[in-house]
Amino acid sequence: MRSKWSMLPEELRLQVLETLAHSSFEKHGLTNYALVCKSWKSIFEKANFRSLTIDQMDFENLAKIPKRCWPYVKHIWLRIELEKYYPMLRTGSVRPEMLEDTASYNDRIEATIGRLFHILSSWEKVVKPDVRGITLELSVHSPSNSTYIPRGVHAKGLDMRMPFTRNREYRSTPNAEVAASRALGGNVHIRFDNQLPRLKLVKTLIIPRHTRRRFTSFTLHQILNRLPNLEYLAYEPWKQPLDTLQDVVDAGYVNLIKGSIPARLKQVIFLEDRDDTLTKVPTLSNTVDEKYARKPNPYIGMALANKSLGFENLAATFLVEASDFFQAYKPEWIWRDLRSLTLTSYLLDPKRKVDEINGMLQAAGVAALAMPMLQTLEIWNGGVGHAAVFAYHAERSEAVISWTSTWDLVFNPYVVDIWRKVGYKNHRCEKLGIEQHLIEDTDAIRRYVDVIELLRTKKHVISRQSLDELRYELENDCICFP
């Protein structure tokens, strides 16, 4: 007598198995399902190997993955773990990171990235790049960060939409300030002596904000140069604590954008986290005064404007000033494929003159005339108690500009006129709608993530995992590490 399971139509059985595979977070359980019978094997192996979280201790197992399963791998999170640090016996204090520590850490990072690249290069003889390719995510941390920094938690598992696990051993001690400096750490500055192999399989690269150690432009150049098919880049570095250091970093960004952006790149996220909770321990607060936010280097905006002509989606948060981007526009430029553009501007501030804001919005409209596929453009700013979002959106022969903010702004006639022309030229919109939305509850704007939540282009502004972490940090008064 046939079993009830075998009596089900094949399409329905397949749907049930795929639903089970996608809903289960327990990898060992999926492995057991794959052993039930031959017909289940490929379904559960695909789910089991779809997303891998590995550190340098996992390479032996990674190299043992059967060849038949290589095409199933779509996301690899390389979670590079540095050595722990401890209080010194004589003083009980954590020692600041020394040059020799940074050099040792960079040696480990170099070896780990190099090993992964060489393993994946061997896959390319078997696996051909598909439409999605592989997503490579890089993070660096020391397990000691969450031990000595108050309210430090690890975010491992977020890639599978799992909840955070709070580390209960955090302490508020004089060591917290030193630990914070070690978490921000020395630069990841690496010259890959054993040249990295080219990886055609990797189409997405993510370096998320929970990696506090900054990859230098020199290091990023070498990595990007070995990813010829890269289409999506999300880089979320941290603002430097000193202006002199930031000037050097900004010069590196200019060179990186000009000389290292792969030709196939279609979507770019740059997010510079400007919150300084780490440097203000032990009095951690999610309402940090953000008046210190810097004015970005204008050459970054100019370089990115020129390089973005082939992009489909671009978002640059705090790293680029919108007015610099639009002032770089040249009449011969055309962004043929750009569908969404999201930038921040320090001009969107209630203390700024209305003419300054309108002038920038008018310049944005002039550039938008050269963006025939543009559907959404958003320019925003915000922090504790203040928010502002200018948005243009067009679809189905309808175009709208809107102002959502904690204060009122009156568009001058030149701004309205230029955006009416954008709507007509790009989408044949006969009329331009104008909307104003006042945010009366300023207490609801606690950090810039609350402003990101207002954006139509939110998914293009920040990586999914980083958005989840920002929300979690805000609600739980903590700091997330990989």
Q: Do both 430 and 447 map to the same domain?
A: yes
Chain-centroid distance of CA 396 in Å reads 30
Q: Do both 101 and 11 map to the same domain?
A: no
Q: Is pLDDT above 80 for 254? A: yes
Q: What is the pTM of this model?
A: 0.87
Of 29, 49, 69, at which residue does a domain stop? 49
Q: Which domain holds residue 41?
A: 4-49
Q: Do both 222 and 305 map to the same domain?
A: yes
Number of domains present in the structure of the chain: 2
Q: What residue has token string 């198995």? A: 17
For the segment 273-279, the average pLDDT, to the nearest whole number, is: 59
Give the alpha-carbon dihedral of 306, 311, 312, 317, to 10 degrees: -70
Q: Do both 17 and 145 map to the same domain?
A: no
Of 31, 49, 67, at which residue does a domain stop? 49
40: CATH: 1.20.1280
- Comparing 241 with 218, the larger pLDDT belongs to 218
The confidence band for 1, taking pLDDT boundaries of 50, 70 and 90, is very low
Q: Do both 20 and 100 map to the same domain?
A: no
pLDDT tens-digit readout, 336-382: 999 999 999 999 999 999 999 999 999 999 999 999 999 999 999 99
- Comparing 32 with 139, the larger pLDDT belongs to 139
Taking the C-alpha atoms of residue 378 and residue 325, their distance in angstroms, rounded to an integer, is 13
